[in-house]
Structure 1
Amino acid sequence: MTSSPASLREARPTIADSVDGPPFATVLVANRGEIARRVIRTLRRLGIRSVAVYSDADADAPHVREADVAVRIGPAAASASYLDIAAVIAAARETAAEAIHPGYGFLSENAGFARACADAGIVFIGPGERALDVMGDKIRAKEHVTAHGVPTVPGFSAVGMTDADIAAAAGETGYPLLVKPSAGGGGKGMQVVRAASELPEALATARRVAAAAFGDDTLLLERLIVRPRHIEVQVLADAHGDVIHLGERECTLQRRHQKVIEEAPSPVVDAATRARLGAAACAAAASVDYRGAGTVEFLVAGDRPDEFFFIEMNTRLQVEHPVTELVTGVDLVEQQLLVAAGRPLALAQDDIRLDGHAIEARVYAESPERGFLPATGDVLVWREPAGVRTDAAVESGSVVSSDYDPMIAKVIAHGSDRAQAIERLDAALAETVLLGVDSNLGFLRALLADPGVRGGDMDTGLIDRLPPYSASEPSQAALTAAALAGELARVRASEPVRAAAGPLWLTGTGWRAGSAPVGRTVAVEAESGAIAVVAAPDLAPASFSAMDSRRRRESSASGRVGPAPHDGSHTTEQARASGVTVATDAAGWIWVHADAATHRLRPLTRREAMEKRLAARERDAAATDPELRAPMPGAVVALHVADGAAVAAGDRIVTIEAMKMEHPVVAPHAGVVRLDVVTGDQVRRDQVLAHVTAAEPAHEASDTPS
């Protein structure tokens, strides 16, 4: 996690710099990943002892090492670790923590956790119970702020209503509608309903997700604002009645209600509208005696940016808070600590000035080419870009599992204006290196290049309207690097058998002293299945010398005998000079970052290349595969048909849940279903879930007597 002076403005002096000193001696951070590291950074700057908590899955995580003290709180499952209130409280007592910072997600908006902290005599760095109770329920929050003059979207609560009652009320409200779980947030369970015929399935899905994610399947239905923009306002409030706002953030670029790119300020909010938005946000916060750093979210009509409606209030720090920090120079975590300690705000509304523009991109472990399915794996190489702020959950050697949210980093750029901020963010994403795990880095750059994004003409459906994402083809530099890495791997694999021979004699390239290399080609396979043929790379002694001497030095320094594990730093000097980074995963695939793009490649022998081409031809000629396979590791949360049922092409058969997201698996063709799993099964990627056998064609009766 880095902060560059070129991008992160110095925080303004606050009362923490006065004779009052740090607000606490020890603070426990009840979270993980990038937010835990970000909170620890401020604690360290203020001279406060930090305590990390971790699950078994995070025993080697960066936030554990960066804290002054770390305490194990349970197994990998969040429900048995980060959501275990008793375990977190016990860790705080064990380490003499005076306060707990919950980060975001997990227990950050849990009123029961806030009460447990109070009962234990520990300060909860967040709002009081009233704010958590009122704002933690979307239905209650909407009713509450309406009474305090805050504009809200037309809609109704489904509490106590039958499905028939809901259908009648939905007809009166008018379609399209948005079905939302009343508890929780993050877009989980939200369903868009454009016609009455879609309502039953939307209600069932929203209830199932809400019950699983929040333990509460109560629903709220609202009028869907067409082409809306998502604008939110950062507020700060203390226990002495003072409430201020720090301007707005634009969070319109979303996919499945999950924010992807955020910026501050909004390109469509003028000074007058900003003042009105800020006043409404402060009124909402004051109505629940809010204290701390919270966010009030609004929908803004696309055709009328001066018209806005309250959505909800998030009573904790937001993922996108860095963009506000960059344009205001205010450290929001520090402000949370000061307020929690009972100190009055040192900032007045007139002190807040917006300087330039900031934009943030969320880096997810996911595969945009495969419908944004979550990805897992070992981080072979992680290298952050220079000149911008990066808040990352990973480093080289980290493991990305399916236990937690797939967001692994945020890259945030600041500029004098919006155009400059976008250019700096795009350059930073091109420079970011992540090998070993699929990511959305390429998609983020494509999104930033979209004319609507560049021009600020956006709405929350923009991403959904984009054509399916296709990754760029590997460049010549990437293909050559993969071929070279494959040759070097082959050489190393042969060393234990022929240890006396140098790498030059094991290359098999035909190179001889005093002569030019024999012409040769290498087939390189992309993960998509495409095969490219490239000229064999130059495997002259100089290339081997740089690579082999480095490897042997590392083996000697670590006390290992034989080849050192590939940590991503094993690149030739030629590769370094050309900006290419290479690493090999456990399955033998070679990850290459070259020409601002990442590819997963594999050199093939001539036989392997021929066999793959033949297999591809056979697949093209064959009928649709009857096997339905899991697109990612996860849990079976729903079976939509019975075993032996007849289905049509495109019918939903199974739903898999992974990383807090549901993914339907549909019938590839009409036929009869045979289910291979049951609800609750944990499945691995590519596991067979069901078979759809095409129905035999009916034989017409013959008119000819037999």
Structure 2
Amino acid sequence: MTSTSTSPKPRALKPLFGTVLVANRGEIACRVIRTLRALGIRSVAVYSDADAGARHVREADVAVRIGPAAATESYLKIEAIIQACRDTGAEAVHPGYGFLSENVDFARALADAGITFIGPGVESLNVMGDKIRSKNHVTGYGVPVVPGIAEPGMSDAQLIQAAAGVGFPLLIKPSAGGGGKGMHIVERPEDLEATLATARRVAASAFGDDTLFLERLVTTPRHIEVQVLADNHGNVIHLGERECSLQRRHQKVIEEAPSPLLESLPDGAAIRARLGEAACNAARSVNYSGAGTVEFLVSDNAPDEFFFMEMNTRLQVEHPVTEMVTGIDLVEWQVRIAASEELTVRQDDVVLTGHSVEARVYAEIPERNFLPSGGRVVLLDELPPDSAGSAGRVRVDSALIEGLEISSSYDPMISKVIAWGESRAAALDTLDEALAGYTALGIDTNVEYLRLLINDADVRAGRLDTGLIERRMPEFSFRHAGDFEVAAAAIYVASLQEHDAQAEGKGPWDLRDGWRLGARAPRRISLGTPDGGVATVEVFGVVGQGTASVSIDGGAQRTASLRFPARDHAELVLGGEALVYSLAPVCTGPVRDNATPAEIFLGNEGWSCRLEVLTREARLARVLAAIEREEGAADPAVRSPMPGTVVSVSVSNGDTVEAGQVLLAVEAMKMEHQLVAPLDGTVHISVGSGDLVKADQVLATIHPPEASRAEDTIEEAVIAMGAAE
């Protein structure tokens, strides 16, 4: 393993702050607290009611409640943050990213209260915080910008009129936005009016400002950004570039440093120098102070051309990859610069060593259009910070702890896995190895998807652009619960039942274990699968004696055994093949040893699934629900994918709708989810705009023109089920 840097260390020119408040949550709050602890600075965490048991609250020296779950009543409430500073004696505030990190009113309020903002000055925030203003500003400092129309206060009609001059395809962007939220691609003029309405609604909800502007869509674009550091003594340097081209919905998924595009070009070093100088010029234009990132679009067809997109006046989510290849702690320098220290790192000192790649882990379901997902973490196995991989080093920045409830009130990103290697190939191999060992049971994550993505042939070859994910998604084959998973769960349940009976010392007349003269009756266990189906497993033999075999859904018997080589790990051997799982049972009633769980979570090499242990009633309900619809037919009920707020309703009761037509939109985890009609028919809406809804709540129902119910088939199924039981 090779060290990633020999960069000069900062020298203390004056005492740093005694107490710093971290005005954020999640993994970034934990990350900042870690550096504050290393600097000997007392840390203060703030938390909402939803985060009372969060990891950042536990890791800080002091924690202060600032309000209810809604961000507008807690993390975005400026007066609550300032009061927390007063109550704890905090001399400075680190805003992390998101929330108030780029809020000019927050910076002003801190200054008025005599509290240091660990970030740039008001001028930088004011100019760079508005995309229209920043684009117009930097053009006067030799920084190239994307062609478009960017004027404040333009109405939809004015934007539609100006669109012809911009050209199609084009990109609608919110002026006050960040992180790709609220951006929309428009391919055809006839789609512009409706898309502008959606963009304004999203911008107003997310940023409190619905100002929009238009940009020419750069084809086969690469998203390359440059990290800058600037002090209050006139020193400005850049720390090289990061490639962030692997995105979905304009949200970064995989980031790396340095850019494989520049690394592959004969004149890559010269382009890097030009990009770096342009970024430094953008920072100088607003007398920037602290850590910041200047983002550029680079056409894959003409890599020597690049265009300014925006400057993020804060720490970036992907800052760890720069830290891994430079050895420079960006949070430490943010604190030191805010304390008026001078940069001791000069441009010639910055050396990029090796390669680093970061994967963002989200609580979401990639197969369902990356739908955000909630839940409780029942088993967690993350690599510790700076752990060693086979070809490099691994760092995990995480907000997770076992027992944590993932709230629908906040962004679904829950952690980041960062790998370093001496080469790009080594870094990707190390990241893949780390993701294969990453287990978070009880919640849905995108880890399996991340592994598919980083092993894509184009990704491995460095052929990246911001549209690659959308093109590749239909080709990815996701794993589903199969015989191995249902067999493992069934044998585990059978072993608990068997052990429970033995432990209580019951006689043969007291047990429901299938005992009879002659051959032992099998244990029949019904499991609900993630797709809504039912798997019936018969377990033959005495599991504890290693003589079991299983039959799944009436199939042939196969020998099987389940053992636990380590805590929370189960090895299943089925028909001579073996798989090792992370396994976590969950009981809904009182917890006791060997209680039959209500559900079982299984994880293997970055993939996981949930299997419900069905009662007779639950099994019957699932079977009947499947019979009520013809095979392959759409469910007429439109359900909320997760807890959230209805932000718009596009139809009225009694309207005739077509399959695919937008009915309403629900906002959850800082994203708007449009719900569409699953089939043609007449719609009945059961909610209104502004209503709070629960996960899986029916929001609308579609009545097809000729609805019919298979009553006879259902009756036959009930009779058959009774006979089977």
TM norm structure 1? 0.88
**SS at structure 1 position matched to 2:141:** coil
Matched to 2:531, the amino acid is S
More divergent stretch after superposition (638-647 vs 250-259): 638-647
Contact 2:644 2:668 in 1 (8 A): yes
For 1:666 and 1:467, the matched residues in 2 are separated by: 21
For 1:58 and 1:520, the matched residues in 2 are separated by: 43
Contact 1:478 1:593 in 2 (8 A): no
* Percent identity of paired positions between Structure 1 and Structure 2: 56
**Residue 593 of structure 1 pairs with residue 597 of structure 2:** no
In 2 relative to 1, CA 342–507 (structure 1 residues): closer, same or farther, beyond 3 Å?
farther
* 2:462 aligned partner: 456
**SS at structure 1 position matched to 2:260:** coil
* 2:718 aligned partner: none
* 2:424 aligned partner: 418
In 2 relative to 1, CA 480–339 (structure 1 residues): closer, same or farther, beyond 3 Å?
same
**SS at structure 1 position matched to 2:612:** strand
**Residue 302 of structure 1 pairs with residue 295 of structure 2:** no
In 2 relative to 1, CA 573–684 (structure 1 residues): closer, same or farther, beyond 3 Å?
closer
* 1:472 aligned partner: 479
Q: C-alpha displacement at 1:8, in angstroms?
A: 8.2
* Deviation by residue 1:586-614 (Cα, 9 ceiling, x = unmatched): 56221011354212123557997687556
* 2:74 aligned partner: 81
Q: C-alpha displacement at 1:572, in angstroms?
A: 6.9
For 1:299 and 1:632, the matched residues in 2 are separated by: 34
* 2:560 aligned partner: none
For 1:343 and 1:133, the matched residues in 2 are separated by: 24
In 2 relative to 1, CA 10–126 (structure 1 residues): closer, same or farther, beyond 3 Å?
same
More divergent stretch after superposition (364-373 vs 314-323): 364-373
* 1:122 aligned partner: 115
Aligned equivalent of 2:531, options 525, 528, 534: 528
Q: C-alpha displacement at 1:670, in angstroms?
A: 2.5
In 2 relative to 1, CA 485–7 (structure 1 residues): closer, same or farther, beyond 3 Å?
farther
**SS at structure 1 position matched to 2:114:** coil
In 2 relative to 1, CA 521–470 (structure 1 residues): closer, same or farther, beyond 3 Å?
farther
Aligned equivalent of 1:669, options 659, 664, 679: 679
1:380-529 equivalence runs, <5 A:
380-385=378-383, 386-387=387-388, 388-468=394-474, 470-474=477-481, 477-490=484-497, 499-501=504-506, 508=513, 524-529=527-532
* 1:152 aligned partner: 145
Contact 1:543 1:572 in 2 (8 A): no
For 2:604 and 2:515, the matched residues in 1 are separated by: 28
Matched to 1:234, the amino acid is Q
In 2 relative to 1, CA 123–570 (structure 1 residues): closer, same or farther, beyond 3 Å?
same
For 1:573 and 1:207, the matched residues in 2 are separated by: 51
Aligned equivalent of 1:187, options 162, 177, 180: 180
Superposition RMSD in Å: 3.0
Q: What residue ranges of structure 2 are gaps of 5+ in the alignment? A: 263-267, 389-393, 548-565, 589-597, 708-725
For 2:542 and 2:431, the matched residues in 1 are separated by: 37
More divergent stretch after superposition (413-422 vs 625-634): 625-634
For 2:462 and 2:26, the matched residues in 1 are separated by: 31
Q: C-alpha displacement at 1:669, in angstroms?
A: 2.3
Contact 2:481 2:530 in 1 (8 A): no
Q: C-alpha displacement at 1:632, in angstroms?
A: 2.0
Contact 2:437 2:605 in 1 (8 A): no
Contact 1:477 1:594 in 2 (8 A): no
* 2:281 aligned partner: 283
Q: C-alpha displacement at 1:90, in angstroms?
A: 1.0
For 1:9 and 1:395, the matched residues in 2 are separated by: 29
Aligned equivalent of 1:657, options 654, 667, 676: 667
Contact 1:8 1:414 in 2 (8 A): no
Contact 1:484 1:539 in 2 (8 A): no
Q: What residue ranges of structure 1 are gaps of 5+ in the alignment? A: 1-5, 545-568, 698-706
Contact 1:11 1:330 in 2 (8 A): no
Matched to 2:582, the amino acid is T
* Deviation by residue 1:111-161 (Cα, 9 ceiling, x = unmatched): 111111111111100000000000000000000001111000001125333
Contact 2:222 2:245 in 1 (8 A): yes
**SS at structure 1 position matched to 2:37:** helix
Aligned equivalent of 2:203, options 210, 221, 226: 210
Contact 1:53 1:70 in 2 (8 A): yes
Matched to 1:499, the amino acid is E
* 1:556 aligned partner: none
For 2:540 and 2:315, the matched residues in 1 are separated by: 51
Aligned equivalent of 2:700, options 664, 682, 690: 690
Matched to 1:72, the amino acid is R
Q: C-alpha displacement at 1:622, in angstroms?
A: 8.7
* Deviation by residue 1:229-287 (Cα, 9 ceiling, x = unmatched): 11000000000111000000011111111111111111001211110110000000010
* 2:595 aligned partner: none
**Residue 14 of structure 1 pairs with residue 15 of structure 2:** no
For 2:146 and 2:507, the matched residues in 1 are separated by: 73
1:18-417 equivalence runs, <5 A:
18=12, 20=13, 23-269=16-262, 270-385=268-383, 386-387=387-388, 388-417=394-423
* Deviation by residue 1:494-550 (Cα, 9 ceiling, x = unmatched): 79xx834499x96837699xx998777755442113555667387544799xxxxxx
In 2 relative to 1, CA 105–174 (structure 1 residues): closer, same or farther, beyond 3 Å?
same
In 2 relative to 1, CA 299–83 (structure 1 residues): closer, same or farther, beyond 3 Å?
same
In 2 relative to 1, CA 409–245 (structure 1 residues): closer, same or farther, beyond 3 Å?
same
Q: C-alpha displacement at 1:100, in angstroms?
A: 0.7
For 1:602 and 1:95, the matched residues in 2 are separated by: 46
More divergent stretch after superposition (587-596 vs 616-625): 616-625
More divergent stretch after superposition (638-647 vs 254-263): 638-647
* 2:713 aligned partner: none
Query: Aligned residue pairs: how many?
Result: 662
* Deviation by residue 1:340-387 (Cα, 9 ceiling, x = unmatched): 000110100000000111001011001112221111111001111353
For 2:258 and 2:278, the matched residues in 1 are separated by: 17
Contact 1:634 1:684 in 2 (8 A): yes
* 1:555 aligned partner: none
For 1:158 and 1:524, the matched residues in 2 are separated by: 58
Contact 2:356 2:419 in 1 (8 A): yes
More divergent stretch after superposition (482-491 vs 411-420): 482-491
Matched to 1:63, the amino acid is H
* 2:645 aligned partner: 635
Q: C-alpha displacement at 1:38, in angstroms?
A: 0.5
Contact 1:11 1:331 in 2 (8 A): no
For 2:322 and 2:459, the matched residues in 1 are separated by: 19
Q: C-alpha displacement at 1:97, in angstroms?
A: 1.1
Contact 1:7 1:389 in 2 (8 A): no
Contact 1:363 1:410 in 2 (8 A): yes
For 2:232 and 2:516, the matched residues in 1 are separated by: 77
In 2 relative to 1, CA 392–303 (structure 1 residues): closer, same or farther, beyond 3 Å?
same
* 2:557 aligned partner: none
In 2 relative to 1, CA 629–615 (structure 1 residues): closer, same or farther, beyond 3 Å?
closer
**Residue 580 of structure 1 pairs with residue 590 of structure 2:** no
For 2:261 and 2:638, the matched residues in 1 are separated by: 46
Contact 1:25 1:48 in 2 (8 A): yes
In 2 relative to 1, CA 368–570 (structure 1 residues): closer, same or farther, beyond 3 Å?
same
For 2:602 and 2:291, the matched residues in 1 are separated by: 41
* 1:626 aligned partner: 636
More divergent stretch after superposition (223-232 vs 165-174): 165-174
For 1:655 and 1:167, the matched residues in 2 are separated by: 24
**SS at structure 2 position matched to 1:319:** coil
* Deviation by residue 1:77-116 (Cα, 9 ceiling, x = unmatched): 1111111111111111111111110000111101111111
More divergent stretch after superposition (354-363 vs 486-495): 486-495
In 2 relative to 1, CA 510–300 (structure 1 residues): closer, same or farther, beyond 3 Å?
farther
